[in-house]
Amino acid sequence: MKHGIYLTRGPVTVRPLTPEHAPFLLKWMTEPRVLEFYEGRDAVFTPERILKDFYQEEWNARRCIVEYEEKPIGYLQIYRLDEELCREYHYSHLGGFSFGIDQFIGEPEYWNRKIGRTFLTLVLEYLTGTEGARSVILDPHADNPRALRCYEACGFRKLKLLEKHEMHEGERRDCWLMEYLPENSP
């Protein structure tokens, strides 16, 4: 990870990913309810794959753990958009300071408790306030209404349907390209 962020609001904390988090990642990446929308239920994660995908992969992303009451419950990665990613998404903010994010709550008992809204709001405030982001994008599966509701509640707006955008469980799945602009925040 290039440099970490440490954010907290009430019982929710976002902190840099460390090697001690690997067992949590392995647990989450073998949970079918998580894999339904992140990686796919046909994905096989081992301790070696966790190490490769989350710790060794050379990619300019800041990887974080989301905690609730000091218990790791989720994962977040933040990356600066470059020209290649903007082309992939047909996203026109090339001249701006834009970021992409991917995240999930890996502990299903923490779903539907507005924790996602809390940590995303923290991250959006940080990216737009501290780092000067002009926009933040994400690309959830179009068939994930829980995530879509959360993102819209945080101020993301659907820009365009990315048809057959992601290979997931053996087939191409539609995703929504969603954008957060600080001036449109809730």
Domain ranges, ordered by start, for the chain: 7-184
Those residues with Cβ within 8 angstroms of residue 152's Cβ, 6 or more apart along the chain or in another chain: 158, 178
State the pLDDT at residue 100: 92
pLDDT given for residue 95 in this prediction: 54
Beta carbons within 10 angstroms of residue 73's beta carbon? 24
C-alpha torsion sign, points 115, 54, 139, 28: negative
Residue 174, φ and ψ in degrees, nearest 5? -75, 145
Per-residue model confidence (pLDDT) at position 78? 94
Contact 72, 96 (CB under 8 A): no
pTM for this one? 0.91
CB neighbourhood size of 124 (10 A): 20
Q: Are 137 and 178 in contact (CB under 8 A)?
A: yes
- What's the token pair of residue 162? 């990315």
pLDDT at residue number 43: 92
| pLDDT < 50 positions in the chain | 1-2
* Residue 1: predicted pLDDT: 33
User: Domain 7-184 belongs to what architecture?
Assistant: 3-Layer(aba) Sandwich (3.40)
The pair phi, psi for residue 107, each rounded to 5°, is: -110, 100
